[in-house]
Each structure stands twice: as C-alpha cells, then as structure tokens.
Structure 1
Amino acid sequence: MKMLWSTSRYTVDDRAEAIRQTIRDRVAPVHITLPERPADVHCEVSITSIGRVQLTTALANPAIVERSARPAADDWEPCLFLGLQNAGSSTVVQDGRAATLRPGMLSFCDTRRPYTLLFDRGVDAHFFRIPVAELRLPDAVLREVTARALGGGDSAVELGASFLSRLAATPDLHTGPAAEHLAVTTLEMVRAVIADACDLEVAARAAREETLGPRILEYLRQHLTDRDLTPSAVARAHHISLRHLYAVLAQEGVSPGEWIRRQRLEGARQELAGAEAGRDAIAAVAHRWGFTDAARFGRSFKEAYGVSPREYRERPHEYRERSHES
C-alpha cells in the first residue's frame, strides 16, 4: 500500500511535529532536527512496500536525522537502510566513519546502532528499508559497509544504483504480479552491492556463502519449466558439488528433488485453473512444467490435490480450497 504525504495539508505551526510523527510511526524511530522558523519547514514523502522492502522517497528542507542507541524496549525489527542520493549532497555517520554522498551514490546505515544523517541543503533521496533477517549476511559484513560512500566506478554498485533508481521512479512496479519478484531481485541486488563494496575478503566470501541458499532457490524458481532441471544441473550452475548443494538446501529445510516436484505441480495446477486451461491437452500442460510422463503427472497431481488434473480443470473453483489445504 502506498502512502503520499505532504506538509501542505497542515498549518505552518503544526508541520514540524507532523513530519516527526510520520517518520517515527511509518519509517523509523528517529529524532529529526528541523529549521527553527516554521515557515521553512516543508516535506513531501512517498512511502510504499515492495514485498518486505519499504521504499521511502523524501523531498524536504534541511534536516538532521539521528538514531540513538537502541533502547531495550524498542520492538522495531532490526533493519538496514540503503540511501540513494537523488540530488544535492548528504552525510552519513556511523561506526566511527562519515561519508559524503553525491547524486547517484549509495550508503548504508544499521538501525541496531546509533547513526546520524546530515542534510545541510535539504533532503532529496530514496531510502530502502530492508530487514536484516532478509539479507542473511554476517554482522561483520554489514558493519563493514555502513557509512561508506558507494559509487563512482564500482561495477556492482553502479548496477545496483541504476536498478534501485529505476525501481524507485516506476511506481507501477511496486504493486501487482511483478512486485514479489522485484522484492526478491532487490534483495539479491543489495547483497551483490554489499559483497562488492566489502573490504574484508573473508567476510565477502562468507556473505556469498550465506546467500547461497536463497540464490539457489531463486534459480530453481526461474528454471522450474526446464525439463533438464536436476540437482546435479543446479550444482553445476552454482559451481559447487552435489553434496554441498544438498547441505546448503538442508539448512533451508528443502530437499531439492521434492521441492522441484511440488513447485511444478503447483504451477501446473494454477495453469489448469486459468481461463485458457481448456485449450491445451493436460499432457501439454504437464510437459510445459517439466513432467515427461503424463500418467505419472496425473498420479502425482491426484496425490497432492485429491482430484485428477481433468477433474480439477473442469471445476477449479470447487477444488481450490481443497488444493490449498493439501
């Protein structure tokens, strides 16, 4: 759900407190220092969620944003903020470092520790709030990249900045069928930026290993309809041994062969329930989803959903609830 907010709806004297409350309630519990003259206070904010990633775009007066030491009673989810400077400049301070950002540059700050954002000439930036748990990166890596000015020639960083800038500027992509996939892509892009920017080679290797499981799962999702998708092929694609593949996916609670079968069945079920389902033979649908034996597909489908593919295609609404419960 998208929220568009502006100080123009408030009286001049109420604007400062309105800004503080909106950011505190919707984005992060921070202290904001604003201009002393009420007439100098102005702000326009767009806040939207792309999966588990929150995107805030702000255009505002000069300000100082401070996050103090996290109190014991703070129930906010630990997050990493990725700032993308649109225009002007800003400064990020955290972990004993300070970084000045120019347009197109990126920076990180971690809500688990104090930080300060200085916008001497106003705010014109995008802020991506990402739960630390979603990144699945070691703390040593995250601490290494906070308060660093990223950009200016680093290939992965430049690619990440371009992707995030276009994503922020295209609100039609924030909702609808593509949003969930874009959220996954955004997380992967942020991980790539962090790994590329990290000075600790050992930590960078650890970061790549930490994200191997989610990357393999996303690879599986993208190649579900490939009939030659096998655990061995997946291992080769990621330059790891078959044993290591099974070990990594076991940490995700996944058995690759069974996971592929279930996801393919679900893809076939959704296609059979679609408006165009009657145009193709069931064997053709099964073939598209990687099943080479139509009879085996029928048995697996009935075992999973309690009805045959033909029965399901004829009355999908009747069996949908049963299918979801399976």
Structure 2
Amino acid sequence: MDIPGSIGEVEVMLGGQGYVCDRSLGTVVFLALTLGRPLFLEGEAGVGKTEIAKALASGLGRRLIRLQCYEGLDASSAVYEWNFAEQMIAIRTAEASGGVDRAHLKDELFTEEFLIERPLLQAMRPQPGGAPVLLIDELDRTDEPFEAFLLEALSDFQVTIPELGTISAPEPPIVIVTSNRTREVHDALKRRCLYHWVDYPGFEREIDILQSRAPEAAEALSREVVAFVQRLRTEDLFKKPGVAETIDWAKCLLALDVITLSPEVIADTLGAILKYQDDIQKLQGSEAKRIMEEARSGLDAA
C-alpha cells in the first residue's frame, strides 16, 4: 500500500487495523510518513505505543522489524553477529582438506555467508513491499551509550560493520521509537525524531477502542468496565492500568459470562487490571465497591 496522502487516510488505515486514532496522533503519524522522519512515542505502559507500529506495518503491508530494548543492549546484539559455530565448522573443514591458506580463509570467514543479521541491519535491507517498519521498543530500558550509537542509524539510516564496511538503506525504514519514560532519553536523539506523548484515552475513545478489540462485549458492560478503569486511574496506585489492561479485563469478564460488575466479580478478576500486590490490596473490601459506585454515578450523570 502507498503512503496515505492525508491525515484522514492515516486515521482510516489505522482504524482498519483495529487501532482507534485521535486527530493529534494521526497528524504526527502522517508527518512522519510524509517527511521520512523517525517518530518518538512516549507515554505510560499499556497506552498503545507498540500497537501503533504493528497497525502501521499491517496497514501498509510492510514487514515489521522489532528491536526490543533491554539493559545492556549493545551494537552487536542490535546490528549483527558473526556465526561462530559455522565459522568453526568452516575452519575444521579447511584444515581436514589440507593446504590451508590462512589469509584466504580469513577473508572467506568474514563474509555475508557467516553474518547473522539483527534488527537494525535487517531494517537497512530492501524488503518485499517496500521499506519495513522498524520498531525500537522501550528505548528507555537501554543505556546512554546505545542511544549514542543509534544517532548514526537514525540520522543517516546506515550501519557500519568493520569487516564489510558501511551498509546504507536504499529506502529509509519507517522508524517508531517508544519509551515508557522510566528515564529521560537524551535530547540529541529526540531532536532527530518527531515527538508525540501518547496519553490515556478519554472515555468515549476508550469505549471505541474496547468495542474494536472486544466487539462481543455488550455496550452496557463496556461502559461499566471503562468507567471503572478510568476511575481507578485517579487512585494512588503504583502502576495504573493501561488500555491493554482494559481490553484484557473485558475479555476475562466475557469468559466468565459476566453481564454487570459487582464487588465480588471485581475482587476475583483484579489480576487482569492490576499487576502489583500492593495495588490489589488497596482495592480489597469496600474500596472496590466505592470505586464501582462512583463509576456508575458518573455514568448516570452523563
């Protein structure tokens, strides 16, 4: 599929993949696609940052290449590695045949035949259907030296392998960088990207998202679920539930044939929306009932 020609087309394309997009997000995605700029998405966990990259890849018919970041990630893990096992087999085979030319063998060992391509190098290669979508997920989990390494890749869309030289992308990949803001990402990297803060959705948009991802849920139950989760986000919790938890909870309730919320049902299924025991303990007893009643009062007032 060609790059969408307007913000509206971006919204329609993402909507077709089950991603409910607001105007501000549609605008920055359109600009990133049109200008060929990386898109830096920041926000709480579970608000749909990673899903944007998945929806883009699916909507455009492009390959999704994901680099999942973690502490200690380095260039060799992100770009390439040499297949040492295959190299050792080649060495043993050459020795067994006799007459080993060491200089010639060394040249043969460091060729693309023995190269294991990691996500950043894969993203620089031509792909069927056009440039891939490169998702650099949870960049805030890495160390600052890896951020500095990324500057070349995001500025010039190229990587360097000492034994082979510089490999440039014939067509720059569509780059989505996400961060849960567990630490600040350096300004030098952010300046190379378009930036967007992905916030928790409003009530009506979260209803639309839930109906898109769990269409079998009755409207009344969907409204109760979203109202409860949104009210829960105002509480003093260690980790507030994201949209992903809203969807998971609704699917759990459907699996239990729940028609309407009750304190007992909430207590039995809290593990779908809260992931820390301290948070779960805060909602024991009358607290869950209080939040449920406040959520229903808000629905009645609306």
Structure 1 and Structure 2 fold alike (TM over 0.5): no
User: TM-score, normalization: structure 1?
Assistant: 0.29
Work out which structure has the larger RCO, using CA pairs closer than 8 Å and 6 or more positions apart in sequence.
2
Q: Which is richer in strand?
A: 1
